[in-house]
Amino acid sequence: MEINLDDELGLISEEAYCAFRGLSKESARNERTQGRAPPHVKLGNTIKYYRSGLRDLVKAKTVKPPSAPTLIDARLRGRRRQAAP
């Protein structure tokens, strides 16, 4: 029975990370050098990223659409127009 330690430790390869982010390996390397990369480990010449770090990155970059304007919002916009010189 073979144990996949990447799965056990929650790691993904640098190639998988780059594919997910749409980055080249050079761009991923620049992120790491500048301290902007998600948590990762370096094992010899191999870079592995933690899945949890990637999950946190996605959450941090999530954009919530604005809510639909309410009647109060419309009234406030009307007051601002009237107050403009």
The per-residue pLDDT for 63 is 87
The per-residue pLDDT for 67 is 74
The per-residue pLDDT for 64 is 84
The per-residue pLDDT for 84 is 52
Alpha helices in the chain, H assignment, sequence order: 5-9, 14-21, 25-33, 51-60, 71-83
| Residue numbers of the chain with a pLDDT score lower than 50 | none
